[in-house]
Chains A and B, each alone.
Chain A
Amino acid sequence: MNYLLQQAINAMSLGGEYALLALGLAIVFSVMGLVNFAHGDLITVGGYAMFLVATWLGLTNPALLLPVGVFSVVLFAMFLERVAFKPVRGAPPTTGMLMAFGVSILIQNLALLFVGTRPKPVPTMDFLMTNIAIGSVLVPVVQILETVVTVVAIMLLVVFLRRTTIGMAMRAAARDVATVRLMGVRADRVVAAAFAISGLLAGLAAIFIMARRGAVDPFMGFTPVLKAFVAAVIGGFGSLPGAVIGGFALGIAEVTLQVMLPEYMAGFRDAFIFTAVGVLLLVRPQGILGQRPDFGEKS
């Protein structure tokens, strides 16, 4: 019973992290039709920002460091959009996708060039890794926080999209950017907002990933972005609720497989997941909730 509870909490917090990551991908895709392979590297950038601030400015108080991490990711995401993605805004989806791919490689190697391969430590709040007791189960604080933050973030996002003008413009732009411009809303602003939110979500995810790893290295964004893709595809690429559902579904699937697979097959867990995703993409590309099997051939 304890074991089940433990695993359930694992699944929830893991699912929350995947949901955050997938949402970041989905927002950019839904507004711009861009498959942002560089999304995972936003996490890396956040980690390095925290490391650099801690080392150069001697600011090691985690309470101050966390906002720095998140804020730097938001800024970097907006910078990336302006510099790398704006030039390919009207291009076919595969051009954008390859561009993001190239950008991702650039970021990873820039980190390699200027900081080096060895992981750099990122100070984190010690209490995050302590355990508290829920009933008879010991749970790391970070897991609880992760789930809570994910839920809060999603709720705030929903409010933003439903109640603010720019949020509504983003929802409208997902189908028809031209008409949004006819409302006098600047397309640039809508896209920048989408990237800012994407960055915010990535930044939040980065905090939790840093908390668990304690260090940042150039290629750490690679696995998260793959997982984010899987989650987003399951839920329906481009659908925001789909990304959340996909994230939690992936978290649950991973933990379930981990528990159920016999010892010698444990390593194949990812093979099962990716095979399932591949088949899903080919049979029902719009996933559970998505609406566009054409994946971004926008009007």
Chain B
Amino acid sequence: MFKADGITVSYGPIRAVRDVSLEVAEGEIVTLLGPNGAGKSSLISALIGLVPRATGRVAFRGEDVTNLPTEALVRRGMTVTPEGRRVFADLSVADNLRLGAATRSDRDGIAEDTEKYLEMFPILRQRYHSAAKYMSGGEQQMLAISRSLMSRPKLLMLDEPSLGLAPRIVEQIFEFLVTLRKWGLTILVVEQNAGDVLEFADRAYVLASGSMQFAGTAAALRDSGDVMEMYLGLEGH
């Protein structure tokens, strides 16, 4: 469904991402792992067009979308839940969700989806009219993901959803991702928290110092001791 080839991202003289390729098939959960500063966020920003790509092509559902701007990509069904959540702080939960559905015009569908996520995350219903800045990190993450889902995307990319959150909340969120896969959504999740993600992901990539170090099934990564040690500081199973 999604294929990126030979992506390079440069900030002036610094190359944050060097000739990286990855793909995500429909209905999969693919995880992109790697240590801090590996270039994972730069890659995601570049894939969605927020940061320019020096080289590389991107294809989505059979269409070459390399030269499309962010807004067009989102309209085609790609979306990103950004690192640090980036909820609209001064806007209410309701307004955040409404903006998430900005590309849609079907009033009933939007209302239905809103209800679905309020059911899923009751805290959002509780805080429906209060500004997002008053919510805790975990609550904001639930809002951010729901907001991303409001556009009914085909591909959801999440950038470090577990960052700074308590383990219990992280578990909740990861469970939600598994549910989403059951609902037919394709997911690419960037994480530093390798251990937990590899439990439910289908395939995995490992990025370090801007280059791809591993590409294969999550199971294979779990079992290969040295890749893990070198780049993630974990013991293999």
Contacts and interface: CB of A to CB of B under 8 A. Distances in A.
A184 B90 contact: no
B61 to A, nearest CB: 16
Given A165-B99, A168-B95, A183 B74 contact: yes
B48 interface: yes
Interface string B135-153: 0000000000001100100
B151 A183 contact: yes
B149 to A, nearest CB: 12
Contacts, number: 62
A181 interface: yes
A169 B90 CA distance: 11
A34 interface: no
A239 to B, nearest CB: 11
B98 A168 contact: yes
B105 to A, nearest CB: 10
Interface bin, chain B: 20 to 34
B88 A172 contact: yes
A182 interface: yes
Interface string A152-185: 0000000000000100110110111011111111
A186 interface: yes
A181 B51 CA distance: 12
B111 interface: no
Interface of B: 48, 50, 69-71, 74-75, 79-80, 82, 86, 88-91, 95, 98-100, 102-103, 147-148, 151
Interface of A: 165, 168-169, 171-172, 174-176, 178-187
Ordered nearest first, which 5 A-B pairs have the shortest CB separation? A184-B74, A184-B103, A172-B88, A181-B70, A179-B86
15 contacts: A165-B98, A165-B102, A171-B90, A172-B88, A175-B89, A178-B82, A179-B88, A180-B99, A181-B74, A182-B82, A182-B148, A183-B100, A183-B102, A183-B151, A184-B103
